Structure 1
Amino acid sequence: MFEIPAVHAAMFVGAVGALVPMWRAHGTDCRVQIAHGAMALSMVAMMIPGVPAGIHLLEGAVLIGLAVFVTGETMHRRTAIPCAVDLTAMGVLLLLAPMSATTPAASAASAPTPSGHHHGGAGISTGWLPLVVLVCWALSTLYLFRSTPRRERRSGVKTAAAGSALMILGMAPMAA
């Protein structure tokens, strides 16, 4: 998907971020562990050059499906909800990736004419949508961390928030 070394480094950080909550997973349901493994694999798949865009669409759909799967567990809500937020945001970003990537033909078709209006589409640009998803993801992660009472902020909640922050950093190239 991306072939720039700095972007690869950010995505590697994101893959590590997906695995961070698994290090402290001693009280976590296996659904959350499966989901974090899938997010890490998705981040690694983004670093492989020449992967068709359809694979990333499939990854996005699978991650959103896993968000539903994770929230089916009622025992570990403190870990399931942040994980579902991560899965949903990453899945939406992957689904938006092919739309936000501009091709020379598409950008030429929607170029403004001398009269100042656009041709070849509804006139609505989705280039800002990945950035909105990324900002909402960051704000949701911060809210979930801050809304946890201090006495309940054990290492698992802190670890999940740190992992989410690393994944947000890793997915930042998708919004650029």
Structure 2
Amino acid sequence: MTMFDIPVAYAAMFVGAVGTLVPMWRAHGADCRVRIGHGAMAVSMVAMMVPAVPAGIHLLGGAVLIALAVFVTGETMHRRTAVPCAVDLTAMGVLLLLAPTSAPAPAASAPGPGPGPGPAPSGHHHGGAGISTGWLPLIVLVCWALLALHLYRSTPRRECPGVKFAAAGSALMILGMTPMVV
């Protein structure tokens, strides 16, 4: 069973995709770089919802998201909007890089008559690119949530009126990335 067999996983990923766009609703003063970063996260979340997309695409997407985190923080004028976006980009990129490059291999069957092992399930599986990552994706997700909460609580509302939208978007993205950790 893959995460694509569970409708709740699709719903969570859809909520995450919407969450990538929420900060742009009030981003009147946001830099174009922040908008590009949120757009890239939206494309990445939608791509995760497509089960036929090769896992290599998600690995490439993870690397691009991390590179965009550096790009987003290059504009010093909009630090209050760039830093939360960079945190979201980095966390999502790291989680995508922890995705395996192929579906898990089926267990070997005993020799004898009858059908052999079935084909490996297709779709996007998470948990490590051929290495045992164990709790690492969960740790990344929890750190992302804690950092987003810290940024929300430490930003004066009068300095950045869109801070509530950025925090809501981060929360929705974290919810959307949860199926890949579970």
- Inter-partner Cα distance in structure 2 for 1:151 and 1:34: 25
With over 3 angstroms needed to count, the CA separation of the structure-2 counterparts of 1:2 and 1:72, relative to structure 1, is same
2:147 to 140, 145, 149: 140
| TM-score, with length taken from structure 2 | 0.81
- Inter-partner Cα distance in structure 1 for 2:103 and 2:140: 16
Gaps in structure 1 of 5+ consecutive residues: 107-123
Alignment partner, residue 47 of structure 1: 49
1:90 to 84, 89, 92: 92
- Inter-partner Cα distance in structure 2 for 1:31 and 1:47: 25
Offset at residue 20 of structure 1 (A): 0.4
Q: Are the aligned partners of 1:100 and 1:126 in contact in 2 as well (CA < 8 Å)?
A: no
- Inter-partner Cα distance in structure 2 for 1:102 and 1:161: 35
Q: Match for 1:159: what amino acid?
A: F
The sequence identity of aligned pairs, in percent, is: 81
Offset at residue 103 of structure 1 (A): 3.5
Alignment partner, residue 28 of structure 1: 30
Offset at residue 153 of structure 1 (A): 5.1
| TM-score, with length taken from structure 1 | 0.84
Q: Secondary structure at the match of 1:160?
A: helix
Offset at residue 31 of structure 1 (A): 0.4
Larger fraction in helix? 1
Q: Match for 1:96: what amino acid?
A: L
Provide the aligned C-alpha RMSD in A.
2.0
Offset at residue 125 of structure 1 (A): 3.5
Gaps in structure 2 of 5+ consecutive residues: 109-130
Offset at residue 148 of structure 1 (A): 1.3
Q: Match for 2:174: what amino acid?
A: I
Q: Secondary structure at the match of 1:149?
A: coil
The answer as to 2:182 corresponding to 1:173 is no
Alignment partner, residue 65 of structure 1: 67
Q: Secondary structure at the match of 1:97?
A: coil
Offset at residue 104 of structure 1 (A): 3.1
Q: Are the aligned partners of 2:56 and 2:101 in contact in 1 as well (CA < 8 Å)?
A: no
- Inter-partner Cα distance in structure 1 for 2:42 and 2:145: 18
With over 3 angstroms needed to count, the CA separation of the structure-2 counterparts of 1:102 and 1:139, relative to structure 1, is farther
Q: Secondary structure at the match of 2:99?
A: helix
Alignment partner, residue 168 of structure 2: 162
Offset at residue 147 of structure 1 (A): 1.0
